[in-house]
């Protein structure tokens, strides 16, 4: 009797009021944020109004020239691309209404997938809601818990998410180290069923390119499937066709994944592969099936942007050229992509340099851990076809004045 009473009392006391519940939740968030703040790893959003591709206003302030966007060709604000988005919305509405497998597969999708396949030199393509959704869908569709994934240690975070969802055994090789990948394959391949070898085509924080030819040959030797994430390569290298074409690895990369949100200037992700693989992806990839189709405007914009990429070789070549001009002027290694990293070291110093560049009229983000390894906080400059020669010349002048560079 006594026991039961005390239990009742305990139960009563233990049921928290809604206010207590939300307090403990907010307390958790506040303490977590404070810990991150102490490490300079707290992130905040600012209002960023982009009027023309590389000119933007932060929190309503004076316009800055951005060397931070991934809009490598300025296509996000190209009049023809914006017009194509408007036309698509007029024709098919603001939203797609359902998953692509239900009623969300508006006719622009087929045209876009054919265009992607043509540019990437593959039989077919599948368009996803984003690059992130593509990676978390593709990887678990192709490998499972009895299989093996060999991945570069610097692959994008959404590849890690896809790897975790797949439950495959994973081994990471040292960045761009084909010999290390070969060792891991020799050691682990035989004990597993299927095997995926995953890399980024271009690494977003360093701007270097994966050695796809050597990796492709290695994959063939071990009956592994090579997948490249070409988020930063489509529209920027290989004549706009991406890393496989830039490295002479045609025929060696059966899985070419990428995004439509960077050089293409719109939104969406894709996989270019053989027809059977694409059919399987569209049948099984959960992030393809259980999510709403893209707004028609995004698909229409991507299609027009890819037509421009195909037809304007000078536009496609310009970002890398500007990156090379900048790097040479500051004594930095010659880049092969539009990305030039300038490693500063500590979070504090990198943030300080970013703030100073803003006072000079430039938006350049400081990338900090965990996005980059500890102690390598950096400014990352990305160049776009829409930058004017004089923007780059003044950036060089300001960086020199700040003592940046080699």
Ligand X SMILES: *Cc1c(COP(=O)(O)O)cnc(C)c1O
Task: Please tell me the distance from the alpha carbon of residue 258 to that of residue 130, in angstroms, as a whole number.
Answer: 9
* Of residues 229 and 347, the one with the C-beta less far from ligand X: 229
- Which residues contribute to the site for ligand X (CB under 6 A)? 130-132, 156, 158, 200, 204, 229, 231-232, 259, 261, 269
Of the candidates 106, 262, 282, 304, the residue annotated as catalytic is 262
Residue among 295 and 391 whose Cβ is closer to ligand X: 295
23 to 13, 15, 30, 164, 267: CA distances (angstroms): 17, 14, 10, 32, 38
The distance of closest approach from Cβ of residue 299 to ligand X in the complex, given in angstroms and rounded to an integer, is 14
Q: What angle do CA 378, 379, 380 make, to 5 degrees?
A: 110
Write down the least CB distance from residue 201 to ligand X, Å. Answer: 8
| Nearest residue to ligand X on Cβ basis | 131
Q: In the beta sheet, which residues pair with residue 173?
A: 152
Element (H, E) at 147: none
- Decide the pairing of beta strands 366-367 and 377-382: antiparallel
The distance of closest approach from Cβ of residue 76 to ligand X in the complex, given in angstroms and rounded to an integer, is 13
User: Any catalytic annotation for residue 204?
Assistant: yes
Q: Which residue has the tokens 């597993």?
A: 192
Residue 106 appears among annotated catalytic residues: no
**Distance in angstroms (rounded) separating the CA atoms of residues 289 and 379:** 38
Of the two residues 261 and 377, which places its CB atom closer to ligand X in the complex? 261
Alpha helices in 312-388 (DSSP H): 313-329, 347-359
> Please, what is the minimum distance in Å from the beta carbon of residue 259 to ligand X?
3
* Min dist. Cβ of residue 231 to ligand X (A): 3
Catalytic residue among 96, 130, 204, 377: 204
Does 32 qualify as catalytic in the annotation? no
Within 10 A of 270 (CB to CB), how many other CB atoms are there?
A: 26
Catalytic residue among 106, 232, 245, 387: 232
- Whether the Cβ atoms of residue 146 and residue 193 lie closer than 8 Å to each other: yes
Of residues 50 and 188, the one with the C-beta less far from ligand X: 50
Q: Does residue 152 contact residue 196 with C-beta atoms inside 8 Å?
A: no
Question: CB–CB of 28/22 below 8 Å?
Answer: no
Nearer to ligand X, 50 or 394 (CB): 50
Q: Which residues are marked as active site?
A: 204, 232, 262
């Amino acid at each position: 009797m006594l026991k039961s009473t005390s239990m009742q009392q305990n139960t009563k006391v233990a049921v928290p009021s809604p206010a207590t519940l939300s307090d403990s939740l907010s307390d958790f968030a506040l303490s977590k944020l404070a810990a991150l703040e102490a490490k300079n790893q707290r992130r905040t959003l600012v209002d960023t109004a982009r009027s023309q591709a590389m000119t933007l206003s932060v929190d309503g302030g004076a316009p800055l020239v951005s060397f931070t966007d991934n809009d490598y060709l300025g296509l996000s604000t190209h009049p023809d691309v914006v017009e194509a988005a408007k036309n698509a919305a007029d024709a098919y509405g603001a939203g797609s209404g359902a998953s692509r497998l239900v009623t969300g597969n508006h006719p622009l999708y087929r045209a876009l997938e054919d265009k992607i396949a043509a540019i990437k030199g593959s039989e077919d393509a599948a368009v996803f809601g984003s690059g992130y959704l593509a990676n978390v869908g593709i990887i678990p569709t192709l490998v499972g818990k009895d299989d093996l994934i060999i991945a570069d240690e610097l692959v994008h975070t959404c590849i890690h998410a896809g790897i975790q969802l797949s439950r495959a055994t994973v081994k990471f090789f040292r960045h761009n180290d084909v010999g290390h990948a070969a060792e891991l394959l020799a050691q682990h391949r035989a004990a597993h069923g299927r095997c995926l070898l995953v890399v980024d085509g271009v690494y977003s924080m360093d701007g270097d390119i994966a050695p796809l030819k050597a990796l492709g040959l290695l994959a063939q030797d071990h009956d592994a499937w090579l997948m490249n994430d070409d988020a930063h390569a489509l529209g920027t290298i290989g004549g706009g066709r991406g890393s496989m074409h830039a490295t002479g690895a045609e025929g060696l990369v059966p899985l070419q994944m990428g995004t439509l949100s960077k050089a293409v200037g719109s939104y969406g992700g894709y996989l270019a592969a053989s027809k059977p693989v694409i059919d399987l992806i569209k049948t099984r990839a959960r992030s393809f099936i259980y999510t709403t189709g893209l707004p028609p405007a995004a698909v229409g914009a991507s299609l027009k942007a890819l037509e421009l990429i195909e037809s304007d070789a000078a536009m496609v070549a310009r970002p890398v050229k500007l990156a090379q001009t900048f790097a040479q002027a500051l004594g930095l290694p010659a880049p092969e992509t539009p990305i030039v990293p300038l490693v500063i070291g500590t979070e504090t110093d990198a943030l300080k340099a970013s703030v100073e560049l803003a006072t000079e009229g430039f938006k350049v983000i400081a990338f900090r851990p965990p996005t980059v390894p500890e102690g390598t906080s950096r400014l990352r400059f990305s160049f776009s076809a829409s930058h004017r020669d004089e923007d780059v010349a003044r950036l060089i002048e300001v960086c020199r004045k700040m003592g940046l560079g080699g």
